[in-house]
Structure formats: C-alpha cells, structure tokens
Amino acid sequence: MTAATKTIQGNFFEDFHLGETIRHAVPRTVTEGDTALYTSLYGSRFPLNASDAAAREMGYAAAPLDDVLTFHIVFGKTVPDISLNAIANLGYACGIFHQPVYPGDTLSTESEVIGLKQNSNGKTGTVYVRSTGRNQRGETVLSYVRWVMVRKRLPHSAAPERHIPNLPEAVAVADLAPPRDVSYARYDTGLTAQPYLFEDFEPGERIDHVDGMTIEESEHQMATRLFHNTARVHFNQFYEKDGRFGRRIVYGGHIISIARSLMFNGLGNAIAVLAINGGKHTNPSFAGDTIFAWSEIVSKHDLPGRTDAGALRVRTVATKDRPCGDFPDRGEDGKYDPSVVLDLDVTLLMPRRAG
Amino acid sequence: MTAATKTIQGNFFEDFHLGETIRHAVPRTVTEGDTALYTSLYGSRFPLNASDAAAREMGYAAAPLDDVLTFHIVFGKTVPDISLNAIANLGYACGIFHQPVYPGDTLSTESEVIGLKQNSNGKTGTVYVRSTGRNQRGETVLSYVRWVMVRKRLPHSAAPERHIPNLPEAVAVADLAPPRDVSYARYDTGLTAQPYLFEDFEPGERIDHVDGMTIEESEHQMATRLFHNTARVHFNQFYEKDGRFGRRIVYGGHIISIARSLMFNGLGNAIAVLAINGGKHTNPSFAGDTIFAWSEIVSKHDLPGRTDAGALRVRTVATKDRPCGDFPDRGEDGKYDPSVVLDLDVTLLMPRRAG
Amino acid sequence: MTAATKTIQGNFFEDFHLGETIRHAVPRTVTEGDTALYTSLYGSRFPLNASDAAAREMGYAAAPLDDVLTFHIVFGKTVPDISLNAIANLGYACGIFHQPVYPGDTLSTESEVIGLKQNSNGKTGTVYVRSTGRNQRGETVLSYVRWVMVRKRLPHSAAPERHIPNLPEAVAVADLAPPRDVSYARYDTGLTAQPYLFEDFEPGERIDHVDGMTIEESEHQMATRLFHNTARVHFNQFYEKDGRFGRRIVYGGHIISIARSLMFNGLGNAIAVLAINGGKHTNPSFAGDTIFAWSEIVSKHDLPGRTDAGALRVRTVATKDRPCGDFPDRGEDGKYDPSVVLDLDVTLLMPRRAG
C-alpha cells in the first residue's frame, strides 16, 4: 500500500458516470457561531437573519441562516468530490431554497451526475451535477445544478457518451418554495429603515448599491474554511505563487456573499433568496480587490397563494475596483467589462405593502 | 424614479432637526458567536464575560456580553443615519450601561437629535445625538451622547438654530446603574490571578498596561462589520487609496476595545463598565499600528446602597507604536503627544474586599 | 506603590518552586462560537466535532470540542504564569484527554511545578509543569506536561535543587481514557467518505497529507487570542520588528492545529485525540508560511475492554513551504530538514471495522 492511496486526490473527468449519486463528506451542524462569523466576514444586515425577534414576529422559529451561507455550506461539501481537479466553475442553475435552515440543524450534501461532455481537446470535460443539501431530518433545504470543467486523468481515455442536461433559464415561479407557516403581512420596514417593498420595483429598474468592500487574504480563507471548501487555490500560496495568477484565488462564493451583502443598500427588504437562477464568475478576484455591485430588476411575480409577498427576479453584477454608478456590464459584443467578476441571477422574496 | 433614490446616502447636516427621533436599522440578536469573535479579535479576559460559571456565582443569569461589545453594537446601528457623511467623530458623553446584555437578547437603537451647531465655514456642522440601545423587552441597556461633524449638502442652505446641549463632565454617581440582583461580596480574585480590589487603588495612581497589540486590516474590518457599522472609510480601499491617508481608517471603537482588553493587566478586577464619561479619538489608527495603553485613577466612589463594589473613574490613554511606561499624554500646551490615539474616560465597577 | 507593581510581568526562573501549585486565570466557557471560529481558522472537518447528529449517533451528548481546541484553551491560561518570560517551549509529554468537552463547559487550569533545572550559563533554567484542565464540575478534561526554558531575573541568584521528572516516551495504553458510554461500533465511514479504519493501518506506514495551508498574520493572532494566550511575541510587531526574527512568531499550537486539520486527508476516521505523547516545535513559523504535513503510523493498540475502536500512535511532521511527498524528516545526524517546523507524537482513536 503506497502513501498516496489513502488520501483524497479528487475525481477526474473519467471518474464521473451519468446517473451516479455521490454522498459527500462531512455533515455539519450550523450554529449561531456560523451566523456571527458570516456577519463578521460580510457585514450582512438582512433583519430576518440578524434578529430572532424580527424572525419570530414573522412566524419563523428563530432567525434562520442567511440563505447564501446555507448555499456555501451545502456547496463546500461537494468540492472534494466534484471540483478538486476543476479548471473552471462554469455555471449554476436551478437553485431552489426549499426551507429555512436554523442554528442546530445538521446539513449534508449528495450530488447526482446529470450531464457529461468531453471537450474537443480531449484533455478536459464538463461535468453537470445536481447537488442536494438536506437537514438532519432528511428534508431537502437546497438543491442546485452546477457544471464545472474537470481535467481528464489520461488524455487518451475514452470519452463518455455526451449528455447535456436541459436547464431552464430560470427557476419557474411554480417551483419556488417560499417559507410556509410564516407571514410577511405585518412586515415592518422600520427594521431596515428602507420603505421600498414589492410594489415599488419595476422590471428594468437598476440600482447602484453604492458601497464597496475590500477583500483581505485571511477573510476569504476563513470564509472558505468555514464552508468546509477544500479547493487548494484558495489556501496554498506556496503552489499559487507559481500558478496562473501568482496568488491565491478568492472562492467565487465569497464574491456572491459580498454582493448579497452590498445589495442591502437598495434592496434591504428583499429578505430571503428563493432561487439562484444562474451565475457566472466572469473574472477571478484576489485579496486587495474592492468589490462593488449593482442590480437590475428582471421581472416581478406573484407567489401562488400568497398575498403577503412577491418574487423579484434580480440580476446582480459585481465588479472589482470599479464603482457601479454607471452599471458596468456586458457589451453588445457579449464581452463583459473587464471589471465585472460576477453575473448572478437570483429570485428574491420581498414583502408586499399591507393591503 | 432614478437608481440612486432607493439607496442610503446618509444624512447631511441640513437633514437633522432638533428634537427629532431616528429609529435605526437593523435589530440584531447577540449570541455566543459574537462573544467568541470578540474574544478572538481583542483577547479580552474579564472573567465576568469569559465564564458562565463565574458570572452565575455572582448572580448573573450567564456571562453577559462585554460592555464595550454592547456599545459597539448599539453604536453601529447609528452610523448609516448619523455619521455616514461625518468628517469627524468629535466626542462621547453621558454613556450609561443600564443593565447586562445576554446572548439571545435582540438589540435595537434609537437616537434623538439634542444639539445642532453650524460651523463658521458654512460647509459643516456639529450634530449631537443621544442614542439609546434597547433589548427585545424594550428595556434600555445603554444610552450615550455622541457628537459628530457632518458635511452640509449645500453650502448655502440656511443654518438651523444653534443649540448646544449642556453635557456633564462625567456621569454622576447617582446616575450609575450597577447590576441589581447580583453580588460581588464573594468575588474571587483567583479568577484573574490579580489581588487588587477597589480598596487598593488611589486617585492619581497610574498604571502602564504593558502589553501591546498590532492591528491587522482584516481584524478591524471583521470587527466593524460584526457591529453592523457601515462607515465606508473602514472597508473601501479603492476610495481610501485616494483619501486623506491613502488607506483604510480603523474604526475608533476598535481602539477602545483594544485598550479595554489591555487594561486587564493591572485592572483585571474592574469587571464591568458602568459609564463612558467621555472619549476622544485624538489620531487615526491604521493596520500595522501597535496599540499600547495606560490608565490613571481619576476618582473613587461608593455606589449608593452597595457594600460589595465601588466605582473607579479611570482615564485610559491609548497610543500607537509607543510603549506607555512613561505615560505619554497631553502636554501643558494642551497638545497630545503625537502617539496618542485615544483619550477615554470611563467609570468601572470593581468589587470591594470582603469586610 | 509604583505603577509597575499591579501588572503581570510573568514569572522568572527563581519564582518557581518544586511542588508548588499555580492556579491560572481566567476560567472560560467554551461555546459553539469557539467551534465555528476553530473551523474558520483551521478548516477542521472531523465529523465528531462538526456534526451534532453524528456525535449523538455515537452516544455523545452533542458534538464535543475538537480535542486540540481544548488543548489550546487549557494551555493558554498557563502562559501568563509559566511562559511569559520563556525563551523556548521545549517539549510536551503525558498529554491525556480524559473526557469530552462540550459547548457550555467552563474550563480552568492549574499547574504543578514538577521539575527545575538551572542551565550551566546561570542565566536561564528549565521549568517542568504538569498542567491540568478541569470543567465546571471539577472533573479533569486534560492533563499534560510541558517544559520551557525561562529567563532568570538575576544571573547570580542561587540555583534551585535540580530535579528532572521521569517522563515516559509515550502515554501507556492503560492510561488512555477513551470516552465511556459511547460506541463506535456502528461508525459510518460515509461521514468522511474515507473507508480506512483501524484495521487498515500498519506500523511504519507513511501518509502524505497532500494539502497545504498558508498562514496569515490576523489568523494566528485571532486564534491565539481566542485561546487567551498572551505571549507577546505573537501580537506585538512594534517589539518584534527589533526581535530575533523581525516579525511576530506564530503560536506553536497554531501549527499543531493546522497539522491536525491537514491530517483529515488520509486519517479522516481518526476522530479523536487520546494522547499527546510528545511534541517539538523545531523551527518558528511566520505569516506567509505554507504548512504541509505527513504522518507515520508508529504503533497500533487495542483499547482495554473495547472492541469498537483501537488506538493508533501516530507521528506527524509539519513543514513550511515544502510539500511532504518525500516525507522530509530528521536526518541520520539527528538534524531536522530545515523545512520541518513540528514533530508531534499523538495517539488517536480510530473506529474498528464492525465484526
């Protein structure tokens, strides 16, 4: 038995099989400690996650975890199996938050391989997985699809049958899972000191979130470790000094969390994430970058059977070292402004004005 | 509706009106996670806050939050409304800790504008607010006065009627609110391994706190975000690189917490803060600065109706990159030694020796 | 009374007396906040500490604290009394984890001086202490021996009688204290996605733990403060800039925790530490260093009366800026490879395969 055989080296493209299910290590109990760290790392101020009192007023058992924190914890577990040998995290789709996660819940993740496509160079391939996060009762709290480009172990190994899953552009409104047994009918805008509710936003409206946040090396490392994400590019300067960028790359989810936190200024009452419709990390980020963000209201939707809240589909673009007052974006040629690091498409829950 | 209208740009001097009350966003439940982070960021070792067992021995329900942490959380909420456009944080007065805050409490803050004074340049003015932090039962946990210099939106706008509140030099002993239903009569100095109690200190006595602590960029950012403090000078290197100092400025409260933590060495049994009589940030601090501190006993006071503890009024001076063995201070000309960053005047609770 | 008299300057060699017992400040309640920070700082993923659900399945009351976190908290309290004037932390022995520590427990530490040896230069001496950490019920949770080289206050002061304790090379199997009232008989290797259990390891086997982790200044400071460790070399760049290395030295325990965390890859089912047989910090570490580690199985032992788990004695070597694929080690001349920073000898609990 050689030394290497007992350690995890990650899967290569050939190791994935269409339809297989991968149970990921390690289940993790989330706590108020995680919430405190999340606040400390991102400064998130959405009142549903900040205040037990406010959450209970709406009918929640307590302040649930920030949805994006739940995403990171569910996602982190997939890294050792799915993306340790990934070259690129290509996209997300079909992300649905099925129910609130509370401190004390234990989360675990399982992934199903739903697509495979070898690239024409024969050296890499794209793997599509649907990952499902469950709590200690086995209830699904989050499911999402992600696809990554993964190295092949051997360039000459046979290509698997090509299968590209059919992914919707956005989660259908009928598939959203707004929390049951809670009500936003008496939602108090004084919680955020922002008066704007569902009725006040219109498709096409753009919001510059104004503030910026500079990333430090230890912050993204602490965040990424908190999520049990083991991708070496985030932690190992000894290797990265000789890598493509000469430095550690910030976990893409770190940028999502900063963007979500910046979003508070202008969308403060969009207190929960219902869906991640899509997302692209258009450029890498590094320690020292200052992240800004802007959002566009894509569309507005009634939530079936609910008069207390609606769904806002929002596209949020994050940049580095570039304020967003003029909404830096993709040009007509389809190319992103070089400052853009994230193009995220989410559906947010926002209370309606009391009738 | 333009993009900017939905985001918070902060109030300017003209936006404040004498007597108005501002309810601040966002209520925040404090937890054991906050206490762990506070320990991690400042190394505070006061046993009342570190040990549930010790706190219960004194009659507390559990280890309460460090008083200065409570201050930061109550304070942080005021920033978006009061000091987002502030040029300087000029002073504090009348800070009274009314009752202990425990993990699980939800804190919110309200401020009353109690003074306004336009400066002679017509471009700025001083705003005085009394901020009150309350728990989920509506009970006041902390109140204090702060005044800041705020930019005017328009140099030519009319000046408000000048009103400067009458602020006492220190909180009167009769106004202090030492915790009820607890007793320090059997206080155990073994908790701190420091034998010095109320009887051992005399007005005029000076204590060099010996230790120093170097500030890192991520530490002050994590702290300041934990407190929901959104002042951009602390987080945004993209803007600050072109600012007055070329770098991010450390939140003044970060220095207060470091000083309070250093104070343990010499004043370890001064286990609670009863009052913040005053405080000045005499110089900005930056990442890389090493903070030292010394204290002077200003006066000693019996606490009405209490034989188990007394009040020590203490002036604590913090410096950067300058040990405090020779007590660097304000000179006879009233000017501070250039190393001094903080001049803080607090009243501390200290157990008395058992009779 | 002079200013200096009330502050802690640490003990010098002359201040220690054979047989004396030192009660250390400050008792500290450990919480889920500490566990979250520990995860964030080290990325530890052992399922026993990460998941309440997994821990309860084995019969624990909840997820206990990581054993190494317990070690740091018990150890930290000894620093102001034992090692504030230490020149070197020479070694550890006889470390036994007596029972699990849970969030909510309050830990305190006491040390007995069990050995003294003045060095021939007359300026320093070695102090041996046995430190015992206890919970709020007075039960021992950890005991260990440490010896440090401490400065003398006065070079000409008389040498104490020389007494060197007789320390075993390793904790005897009969002295190990594996948790009672729990069972690993139904241990689920799916928790770690690693199939290797007690039966799969053989003495002499070496495992390269593959991954590396780069240390940041704020990370080791936050960790060390979390542990109430006050050694100034870790925090005070103002002094250290003129010190032997020109920079802050990373707390040796920080390296132990990184090594333990890296150990997950290959020894993921070694879910608890039973003993610290020995340990040497062979070189200092600094911010910017990337830590790697490898382990060797020293020996395997049945645990008396237990068929559900066995004990693996493991030697773990950590390096800086040097991958461990070729197991950098001590040479035949007894000198360590210059990359080696830690040589740790521990006994780990590992479940056995169900019969």
Tokens describing residue C288 = 């910017």
* C-beta separation of C68 from C48 below 8 A: no
Q: How many degrees, rounded to 5, is the angle at CA C121 between CA C120 and CA C124?
A: 95
Q: Is residue A188 packed enough to be buried (19+ CB in 10 Å), middle (13-18) or exposed (0-12)?
A: middle
In SS3 terms, chain B reads as CCHHHHCCCCCCHHHCCCCCEEECCCCEECCHHHHHHHHHHHCCCCHHHHCHHHHHHCCCCCCCCCHHHHHHHHHHCCHHHHCCCEEEEEEEEEEEECCCCCCCCEEEEEEEEEEEEECCCCCEEEEEEEEEEECCCCCEEEEEEEEEEEECCCCCCCCCCCECCCCCCCCCHHHCCCCCCCCCCCCCHHHCCCCCCHHHCCCCCEEECCCCEECCHHHHHHHHHHCCCCCHHHCCHHHHCCCCCCCCCCCHHHHHHHHHHHCHHHHCCCCEEEEEEEEEECCCCCCCCEEEEEEEEEEEEECCCCCCEEEEEEEEEEEECCCCCCCCCECCCCCECCCEEEEEEEEEEEECCCC
Q: Which residue of B has its CA nearest to C22?
A: B193
* DSSP conformational letter for A228: T
Q: Which of C7, C26, C136 sits opposite B192 (nearest CB)?
A: C26
Encode pLDDT of C90-99 as tens digits.
999 999 999 9
CB atoms within 10 A of CB B189: 16
Nearest to B96 by CA among B174, B180, B197, B181: B174
Q: Report how far residue C96's alpha carbon sits from residue B54's, in angstroms, rounded to the nearest whole number.
A: 26
Cis, peptide link before residue A26, omega less than 30° from 0: yes
Q: DSSP string covering A77-140, please?
A: TTHHHHTTTEEEEEEEEEEEE-S---TT-EEEEEEEEEEEEE-TTSSEEEEEEEEEEE-TTS-E
The answer to whether C211 contacts A232, with C-beta atoms less than 8 Å apart, is yes
Query: How far off is chain A from B104, nearest CA to CA, in Å?
Result: 8
List of chains touching A (3+ CB pairs within 8 A): B, C
Task: Quote the pLDDT of residue B3.
Answer: 43
The answer to whether C191 contacts A27, with C-beta atoms less than 8 Å apart, is yes
Tokens describing residue A84 = 């340790």
Encode pLDDT of B50-103 as tens digits.
999 999 999 999 999 999 999 999 999 999 999 998 888 899 999 999 999 999
For C337-342, which contacts have Cβ atoms below 8 Å and span 24 or more sequence positions? C338/C283, C340/C282, C340/C283, C341/C255, C341/C281, C341/C282, C341/C283, C341/C284, C341/C285, C341/C289, C341/C291, C342/C252, C342/C255, C342/C256, C342/C259, C342/C279, C342/C280, C342/C281, C342/C282, C342/C293, C342/C316, C342/C317, C342/C318
Contacts of B218 in chain A (CB under 8 A): 216-219
* Three-state DSSP state, C355: coil
The answer to whether B7 contacts A63, with C-beta atoms less than 8 Å apart, is no
- Residue A226: phi, psi to the nearest 5? -55, -30
The answer to whether A225 contacts C63, with C-beta atoms less than 8 Å apart, is no
Contacts of B33 in chain C (CB under 8 A): 31-33, 36
CB atoms within 10 A of CB B48: 25
Residue owning tokens 């110089």: B283
Query: What's at C93, amino acid-wise?
Result: A
- Residue C17: phi, psi to the nearest 5? -130, 135
Encode pLDDT of C72-126 as tens digits.
999 999 999 999 988 888 999 999 999 999 999 999 999 999 999 999 999 999 9
Q: Which residue of A has its CA nearest to C327?
A: A3
| Interface with chain B: mutation pick from A34, A214, A314, highest number of B CBs within 10 Å | A214
Query: What's at C99, amino acid-wise?
Result: Q
Encode pLDDT of C207-265 as tens digits.
999 999 999 999 999 999 999 999 999 999 999 999 999 999 999 999 999 999 999 99
pLDDT at B287 over 60: yes
Which ranges constitute the DSSP H helices of C27-120?
32-42, 47-50, 52-57, 67-76, 79-82
Confidence of residue C303 (pLDDT cuts 50, 70, 90): very high
Contacts of A192 in chain B (CB under 8 A): 25-26
pLDDT at C155 over 90: no
Bridge-based pairing of strands A28-29 and A213-214 is unpaired
Task: Quote the pLDDT of residue C355.
Answer: 66
Lowest pLDDT segment from B74-78, B80-84, B345-349, C57-61: B80-84
| Interface with chain C: mutation pick from B30, B39, B188, B220, highest number of C CBs within 10 Å | B39
The answer to whether C214 contacts A235, with C-beta atoms less than 8 Å apart, is yes
Topology of the domain comprising B7-154+170-351: Thiol Ester Dehydrase; Chain A (3.10.129)
Mean pLDDT of C329-352: 97
CATH architecture assignment, domain C3-351: Roll (3.10)
Contacts of A210 in chain B (CB under 8 A): 7-9
Mean pLDDT per 10-residue interval, chain A, length 355 residues: 69 96 98 98 98 98 98 97 90 97 98 96 95 98 97 90 96 97 97 97 97 98 98 95 96 98 98 97 97 98 97 98 97 95 98 88
* C-beta separation of B262 from B322 below 8 A: no
Query: How far off is chain A from C246, nearest CA to CA, in Å?
Result: 21
Q: Is residue A166 packed enough to be buried (19+ CB in 10 Å), middle (13-18) or exposed (0-12)?
A: exposed
Task: Quote the pLDDT of residue A326.
Answer: 97
Q: Which of A24, A33, A236 sits opposite C213 (nearest CB)?
A: A236
Confidence of residue C3 (pLDDT cuts 50, 70, 90): very low
- H or E, element range at C9: none
Q: Which of B41, B46, B294 sits opposite C222 (nearest CB)?
A: B41
* DSSP conformational letter for A225: H
Choosing among 3.10.129.10, 3.30.565.60, 3.40.50.150, 3.60.21.10, the CATH entry for A3-152+169-351 is 3.10.129.10
Q: Report how far residue B31's alpha carbon sits from residue C101's, in angstroms, rounded to the nearest whole number.
A: 20
Nearest to C49 by CA among C24, C28, C70: C70
Contacts of A104 in chain C (CB under 8 A): 52
* DSSP conformational letter for C163: B
Task: Quote the pLDDT of residue A9.
Answer: 84
Encode pLDDT of C239-254 as tens digits.
999 999 999 999 999 9
* Three-state DSSP state, A254: helix
Q: How many degrees, rounded to 5, is the angle at CA C44 between CA C77 and CA C256?
A: 50
The answer to whether C191 contacts A7, with C-beta atoms less than 8 Å apart, is no
Answer left, alpha or beta for residue A174, where phi above 0 means left and psi between -120 and 50 means alpha: alpha
Contacts of A230 in chain C (CB under 8 A): 43, 211
The ipTM value here is 0.96
